[in-house]
Structure 1
Amino acid sequence: MITLDHLTKRYGATTAVDDLTLQIQPGRVTGFLGPNGAGKSTTMRMILGLDRPTSGTALIDGRPYVALRRPLREVGALLDANAVHPGRQLRTHLVAMARSNSIPVARVDEVLERVGLAGVARRRAGNLSLGMSQRLGIAGVLLGDPQVMLFDEPVNGLDPDGVMWIRKLLRSLAAEGRTVLVSSHLMSEMQQTADHLIVMGRGQLLADDSMASFVAGHGSLEEAYFRLTAGSVEYTGRSEARGDRAGTEVF
């Protein structure tokens, strides 16, 4: 379980995350939604100890990430699929991760097979397509067989078969009792994948509800989302004066 208690992050006069309190439960896929600038990435970074909260706490099974002795065995995260040295071979990259956390090297070949990269394990990361880079990042998440997993835009660059594969993977991981948090801007895909939703806007919690309850009374997740976040979108230029969604970045 991930527990956020009055979690706040300020950068000077800007409040990126504002007094966020919630629990991300195991056994379900939790979708993490919000417009650009809502605070989603900052929240995920604080969960992973990459950013220090101004106040409040982000705990994983009651402990901060920095207190985990072998973190990859407890938490897997995909924040940036391109955060790999371009000259490093795929297998070499995962072997280094495994050894840093006392994970058997045999596990590397298992996850490469599971994500469909076993046949290109000797390829260098700089020669991968975006979709293949995403699969490598997912292999890194799975490597330590953790109970808590965070994914930021995991379907970016994947073809339709890949999108269906990651959807089934996320749901199967949650069915095993793991805590699965997924940030995405693809509403139609999220509606088919997530069991529960957390929605943020301007650093604050706007919704923490089941998918069924959130969508009830609306035609789709997209419609419900736009109604909730209309006042949290950062409009720019002429679109701001018009109130026109076309010129905005809403995810």
Structure 2
Amino acid sequence: MTNGDSTGAAATIVARGLTKSYGRTVAVQNVSFTVRPGTVTGFLGPNGAGKSTTMRMIIGLDRPDAGQATINGKSYHELRWPLREVGAMLEAKAFHPGRSARAHLGSLAASNDIPAQRVDEVLAMTGLTSVASRRAGKFSLGMAQRLGIAAALLGDPGVVILDEPVNGLDPEGIRWMRGLLRSLAEQGRAVLISSHLISEVAMTAEELIVIGRGQLLAQTTVAELSASAGSLEEAFFQLTDSVSEYQGRAA
């Protein structure tokens, strides 16, 4: 696994000048950042800031109008076995509701030439072994979230991208997720998490990317941004206030 070297050559995710519009709406404008291996990087921004669009461009679901995102120096479409290099969960219920959890993961494993025993490993890792034969469409939001995480980890990837990873989890599940994210980073993986829960990012992430109205506002560390205003929440609001879509947020 890659070590936590901060040099450009060691960077696992690199975005350069990412730009994306939908009709007349500019979703992302000239966004550049780097996500290093061995760290959990939080991705923050108000609703509509362009976080999801940016993540979709990284994993090839949306094509940028300009710029490029690479994983280990290659675009997502150039990866021979994508799930072995990058695991992503952008939509918790991205599965056929009539399939069991085991069948869903089994089909993903077969499509990326991943050993079948890995399915049992990620089911155990995410606490789903006892419900592996249940139809995924009957899962609660928290269980669906765990299945999405299991799918993201199936290929034992060096890059993990999770959108709102604690959504639907109970307190025990949130605690488990914090430990999992830290463990993935300690293993040398690059972990990018998008969340609306600023306090959760403050407890989990080391580095931080902040965007607003599709523009990069900061790439820094959680400690540095928090120190600038006394707390990460206050620093976030100060940083995004001028570009936030919400009204009346300023104190």
Kindly provide the amino acid, as one letter, of the partner of residue 34 in structure 1.
G
Which of 1, 19, 37 pairs up with 1:8?
19
Kindly provide the amino acid, as one letter, of the partner of residue 25 in structure 1.
R
Which of 9, 22, 41 pairs up with 2:33?
22
Asked if residue 117 in structure 1 is aligned to residue 117 in structure 2, the reply is no
Secondary structure of the structure 2 residue equivalent to 1:217: helix
Deviation, 1:244, is 5.0
Structure 2 counterpart of 1:141: 152
Structure 2 counterpart of 1:103: 114
Structure 2 counterpart of 1:196: 207
Asked if structure 1 preserves the Cα contact closer than 8 Å seen for 2:241 and 2:250, the reply is no
Percent of aligned pairs sharing the same letter: 62
Secondary structure of the structure 2 residue equivalent to 1:231: coil
- Unmatched segments (≥5 aa) in structure 2: 1-11
Asked if residue 155 in structure 1 is aligned to residue 172 in structure 2, the reply is no
Q: In the aligned structure 2, how far is the partner of 1:173 from the partner of 1:51? A: 26
Could you say what the CA RMSD is over the residues aligned between the two structures, in angstroms?
Answer: 1.2
Structure 1 counterpart of 2:242: 231
Deviation, 1:231, is 1.4
Asked if structure 2 preserves the Cα contact closer than 8 Å seen for 1:33 and 1:185, the reply is yes
Deviations for 1:23-65, whole angstroms, at most 9, x for unmatched residues?
Answer: 1111100000001111110000000000001011111111000
Asked if residue 62 in structure 1 is aligned to residue 73 in structure 2, the reply is yes
Q: In the aligned structure 1, how far is the partner of 2:196 from the partner of 2:233? A: 10
Asked if structure 1 preserves the Cα contact closer than 8 Å seen for 2:241 and 2:249, the reply is no
Structure 2 counterpart of 1:249: none
Which of 164, 175, 189 pairs up with 2:175?
164
Asked if residue 46 in structure 1 is aligned to residue 57 in structure 2, the reply is yes
TM-score by length of 1: 0.93
Which of 114, 127, 135 pairs up with 2:138?
127
Deviation, 1:75, is 0.5
Q: In the aligned structure 2, how far is the partner of 1:220 from the partner of 1:171? A: 21
Deviation, 1:219, is 2.9
Paired residues, number: 240
Asked if structure 2 preserves the Cα contact closer than 8 Å seen for 1:35 and 1:232, the reply is no
Which of 220, 230, 249 pairs up with 2:231?
220
